[in-house]
Amino acid sequence: SNGDSVVTLLDYGAGNVRSLRNAIRYLGFDIKDVQTPEDIVNANRLIFPGVGAFAAAMDVLTKKGQVFFVILVEALCAYIEKDRPFLGICLGLQLLFESSEENGPVNGLGLIPGVVQRFDSSNGFRVPHIGWNALQIRKDSEILNDVGDYHVYFVHSYRAMPVHKNKDWISSTCNYGDNFIASVRRGNVHAVQFHPEKSGDVGLSVLRRFLKPKSPMAKVIACLDVRTNDKGDLVVTKGDQYDVREHTKENEVRNLGKPVELAGQYYKDGADEVTFLNITGFRDFPLGDLPMLQVLRYTSENVFVPLTVGGGIRDFTDVNGRHHSSLEVASEYFRSGADKISIGSDAVYAAEEYLRTGVKTGKSSLEQISKVYGNQAVVVSIDPRRVYVKEPNDVEFKTVRVKNLGPNGEEFAWYQCTVSGGREGRPIGAYELAQAVEELGAGEILLNCIDCDGQGNGFDIELVKLISDAVSIPVIASSGAGAVEHFSEVFNNTSASAALAAGIFHRKEFPILSVMNFSFLQKSIQWSLPY
């Protein structure tokens, strides 16, 4: 997957392409410069930025007698003819045409019919055309679809005009005295007259779309922590390192809204999945807690993405002495509309026992439910807390080297699993737990982090990396999202399959999200994935 994060750049040295390089790196890609024609042949995607004058560029590319450059041009033409991913920028668009009158006429590569000519300044428009202008989309341009308001930055004196022979190539035009060609596209071959690296968010979106990764879509999951408040209403709440009470005299449970309403909202906003965690499930018996089942029933009437529900999935004997198996609890959740159930505390006990005895009894809730409903229906939710240590050998659990040292200068940490909503630490690490529950039949891991929960400072990359590398089932990174960059950060640096967040959505404090919603977020994640 490594090669997929590399962009090949044909920089023939005629101008300043630093900002393009910066934009590519900003989007999470590495740059390989073309040194030999083979570099073009072997490119996954090739960008040909053009800065400077047509004649000078063509001169460099085809210098007489310089066999190297002739081969380079041949390699470039062959690459484009084979419909390999190509993006020409500015002069990189003009060079595709037959010829240009700039310091010429000078022959171009001749792939697109037409002659590049100077703007006609006699009609009152100043030349060069320098500044922001709107694109008029002519056909499905792939890399220009849905890129904001289509305002992009131009700087050029020469342009190609639409003619009958090149009409199949034109994906957009722009008006500056005349309607010139602003972009062309045929298959995987794209070229733009404007400068995406200078066109703000719209330009970055264009670049991202060209650089699009081949990996499966990264998912964004909205999480609703649900519990009854002191008045007995089921509310969506949100903790600060798992503390969900307001720090006021009344000390009430923080109330962020109604579960069914919010789930519906996040679905409409484009969430890939919705998760409900009944955070007091460890002490309230869920089958006694009918509102939660009711929430699932109502939610699933209007929410058509996977629904996960967790909290309180375990064997239970009620006040009347009647025994309920965890399978019974899970079945009730599935019947009410859940696609997956999530097990927290009970999976910790099961993993501890399995690691102690080495025997799979088949009796744990995890094993029973995954046997009946399939692994894909069983998520294990881990609630770890970071514990700093001086040396890895100080503990029997897997440690990581931390970037930010502990309070006493510790360089290592392990992640202690907790039960009962973080109230009790257990003698098992997140790493050991993750591997054990995979063996016991978990189909997915929801990886929280008590230290990061509600802090908005980003996911615990060290933890997510540790766990996503330790298992082969999908890992959902959770806790700490506070900005769009945090999502791309976790996907770029770990092999998490999804990212779950709560506070950032509830608070609606994040301007881009309130305006442009999940779909935007998703795209920006998608495009910044390097693999």
Q: Specify whether the CB–CB gap between 25 and 51 falls below 8 A.
A: no
Count of beta carbons in the 10 Å neighbourhood of residue 313 = 28
Q: Greatest CA span in the chain, whole angstroms?
A: 95
- How far, rounded to the nearest angstrom, does the alpha carbon of residue 286 sit from its chain's CA centroid? 34
Which DSSP letter does residue 337 get? Answer: T
- How far, rounded to the nearest angstrom, does the alpha carbon of residue 207 sit from its chain's CA centroid? 16
Which DSSP letter does residue 138 get? Answer: -
Residue 456 Cβ vs ligand 1PR, minimum distance, rounded to whole Å: 7
CA distance 329 to 312: 8
Residue 520 Cβ vs ligand 1PR, minimum distance, rounded to whole Å: 18
Q: Looking at 272, 273, 346, 460, which residue binds ligand 1PR (CB under 6 A)? A: 346
Sign (positive or negative) of CA dihedral 344, 350, 354, 357 = positive
Q: Specify whether the CB–CB gap between 248 and 226 falls below 8 A.
A: no
The structure tokens 């009647």 sit at 322
- Tell me if 196 contacts ligand 1PR by CB under 6 A: no
Q: Looking at 479, 494, 524, 528, which residue binds ligand 1PR (CB under 6 A)? A: 479
Strands 316-317 and 323-324, by their bridges, are antiparallel
The window from 24-32, 339-347, 485-493, 511-519 that contacts ligand 1PR (CB under 6 A) reads 339-347
Count of beta carbons in the 10 Å neighbourhood of residue 523 = 18
Q: Specify whether the CB–CB gap between 312 and 286 falls below 8 A.
A: yes
Amino acid present at 168: D
- Tell me if 312 contacts ligand 1PR by CB under 6 A: yes
Sign (positive or negative) of CA dihedral 387, 391, 394, 398 = positive
Site for ligand 1PR in 212-241 (CB under 6 A): 223, 225, 238-239
Q: 155-174 mask for ligand 1PR (x: CB under 6 A)?
A: --------------------
Site for ligand 1PR in 400-459 (CB under 6 A): 421-422, 448, 453-454
Q: What element of type H or E holds 40?
A: helix 37-41
The structure tokens 């770890």 sit at 384
Residue 388 Cβ vs ligand 1PR, minimum distance, rounded to whole Å: 20
- Tell me if 460 contacts ligand 1PR by CB under 6 A: no
- Tell me if 282 contacts ligand 1PR by CB under 6 A: yes
φ, ψ of residue 318 in degrees (nearest 5): -80, 180
Residue 244 Cβ vs ligand 1PR, minimum distance, rounded to whole Å: 5
Please confirm, yes or no, whether 197 is among the known catalytic residues: yes
User: Annotated catalytic residue: which of 195, 223, 272, 489?
Assistant: 195
Read out DSSP for 88-119? EEEHHHHTTEEEE-TTS-EE---SEEEEEEE-
Please confirm, yes or no, whether 383 is among the known catalytic residues: yes
Which DSSP letter does residue 122 get? Answer: G
Q: Looking at 481, 498, 499, 513, which residue binds ligand 1PR (CB under 6 A)? A: 481
Residue 268's contacts (CB-CB under 8 Å, 6 or more residues apart) are: none
Q: 361-400 mask for ligand 1PR (x: CB under 6 A)?
A: --------------------x-x-----------------
Residue 239 Cβ vs ligand 1PR, minimum distance, rounded to whole Å: 4
Closer of 208 and 254 to ligand 1PR (Cβ) = 254
Closer of 28 and 312 to ligand 1PR (Cβ) = 312
Please confirm, yes or no, whether 195 is among the known catalytic residues: yes
250-275 CB burial, b ≥16 within 10 A, e <16: eeebbebebbbebbbbbbebbbbbbb
- Tell me if 88 contacts ligand 1PR by CB under 6 A: no
Residue 409's contacts (CB-CB under 8 Å, 6 or more residues apart) are: none
Interface with ligand 1PR (CB under 6 A), residue total 34
Please confirm, yes or no, whether 323 is among the known catalytic residues: no
Site for ligand 1PR in 241-260 (CB under 6 A): 242, 244
Residue 260 Cβ vs ligand 1PR, minimum distance, rounded to whole Å: 17
Residue 75 Cβ vs ligand 1PR, minimum distance, rounded to whole Å: 48
Q: Looking at 86, 480, 496, 498, which residue binds ligand 1PR (CB under 6 A)? A: 480
Closer of 205 and 308 to ligand 1PR (Cβ) = 308
Closer of 213 and 311 to ligand 1PR (Cβ) = 311
Residue 258 Cβ vs ligand 1PR, minimum distance, rounded to whole Å: 17
Closer of 50 and 286 to ligand 1PR (Cβ) = 286
The two three-digit tokens of residue 27, written as one number: 């989007």
User: Annotated catalytic residue: which of 98, 346, 383, 438?
Assistant: 383
CA distance 426 to 474: 24
- For ligand 1PR, the binding residues (CB under 6 A) are 223, 225, 238-239, 242, 244, 277, 279, 281-282, 310-313, 342-346, 381, 383, 421-422, 448, 453-454, 478-481, 501-504
Please identify every residue annotated as catalytic: 90, 195, 197, 225, 383
